[in-house]
Chains A and B, each alone.
Chain A
């Protein structure tokens, strides 16, 4: 095994060159280049953390904005609903009023017509009475040769008409 067989003749050279090489690595890599690498990594980590924080803040702002918008929208919707309800109520009221007015007019017309019908009927009845009385006078005069005064004939017609 050369590690043991050559130990006495090579140990000093091995140790010397190891210290030279490892020392070179330690000072050049460990103390010279490594801080550059780690500072770059730290800088990047910090930048990423900052960016994430900024994004988080922006998200929170957007959330707040959305919340405010929701509140506004809800308020506006409520206003619109109130407006619609108001309009509906108004429309219903005016419809009702118009209906009432129309109903009143119809009733009035009906009453007038009924009154006219009543009057016409009364007039017709009077006419029939007069005609009947004249006819009765005429009939009596022709049959019995008696001249009946108009009042008597009228009374007799009335009595017959009243008894049906």
Chain B
């Protein structure tokens, strides 16, 4: 990167690694990129984390308590949104929540201090979009498998007057169809915005410090203090966005499971 000039979106660039540029399956490029690497790291860290807590001790240690805290949290989420029938979605919702949470948090690691470049897979709408479409597909599959064509009554709220149905139905249908987009875009936007903000502020710190004592005092130092606060905020956002994604999936699953 050119000295003193920071490109805030360069961090999202995807680069093929290990000369896998031309890997492909059925003509589609499947190069192992930095994004794939960080998703793999996320998966490995997550597996190690949960495996460490699956010790089945009756009196749990710290690690087991941490893992059981997460499973209990997701279990409660399903219980309160879907009810007893929600237990069967626990494997999917737990995987989803933990994968997003770990991907978000790993992308925030200050690894640049040791020369590595962390990559936030969830800052790409290709990734969040696939997760959203997956959740939406499960909602559709459960809804139609459980209620058949009766599932379309989801688009006609209770007590709608008959003449209003032709108007209400398309509105509800559109709001339903928008769900996967809002689900995927929300996560992508939150992650990307946070990382861009941190990058822009760090650019201020670098340029301000390089430009002299005056700009250091009025621009670099305040920006640096602000970055500290925003880093804490980003940690919060990483958790909240994973929670929101899992929560909304639960809410949508509830529509399919219980159909008002």
Residues of A within 8 A of B (CB): 1-3, 6-7, 9-22, 24-26, 28-31, 33-41, 43-44, 47
Is B25's CB under 8 angstroms from A17's CB? Answer: no
Report how far A144 CA is from B54 CA in the complex, Å.
156
Is B91's CB under 8 angstroms from A2's CB? Answer: no
11 other A-B residue contacts (CB within 8 Å) besides A10-B31, A18-B126: A2-B12, A13-B31, A13-B32, A13-B35, A15-B126, A15-B130, A21-B43, A22-B39, A25-B95, A26-B92, A33-B51
Closest to B11 in A: A2
- B134 contacts across to A, CB distance below 8 A: 22
Is A9's CB under 8 angstroms from B71's CB? Answer: no
A-B CB contacts (within 8 Å), total count: 141
Report how far A19 CA is from B126 CA in the complex, Å.
11
Is B32's CB under 8 angstroms from A17's CB? Answer: yes
Q: Can you spell out 11 A-B residue pairs with CB atoms less than 8 angstroms apart?
A: A1-B12, A11-B126, A13-B32, A14-B127, A17-B35, A17-B39, A25-B95, A26-B92, A26-B95, A34-B90, A38-B90
Q: Mark B142-155, 1 if CB is under 8 A from A, else 0.
A: 00000000000000
Contact of B127 among A18, A28, A33 (CB under 8 A): A18
| Chain B interface SS verdict (over half) | helix
Decide yes or no: A37 and B50 within 8 Å by CB, A13-B33, A24-B43, A26-B95 being known contacts.
yes
| Chain A interface SS verdict (over half) | helix
Is A33's CB under 8 angstroms from B42's CB? Answer: no
B222 at the interface (CB under 8 A from A): no
Decide yes or no: A22 and B99 within 8 Å by CB, A3-B126, A3-B192, A29-B46 being known contacts.
yes
Question: In chain B, residues 136-193, which have Cβ atoms closer than 8 Å to a Cβ of chain A?
Answer: 188, 192
Q: Mark B211-222, 1 if CB is under 8 A from A, else 0.
A: 000000000000
Q: Mark B89-110, 1 if CB is under 8 A from A, else 0.
A: 0111011001100000000000
Contact of B9 among A2, A35, A43, A44 (CB under 8 A): A2
Decide yes or no: A25 and B28 within 8 Å by CB, A17-B35, A31-B91, A41-B72 being known contacts.
no
Q: How far is the CB of B15 from chain A (nearest CB, A)?
A: 10
Q: How far is the CB of A28 from chain B (nearest CB, A)?
A: 5
Q: How far is the CB of B65 from chain A (nearest CB, A)?
A: 11
Closest to B33 in A: A13
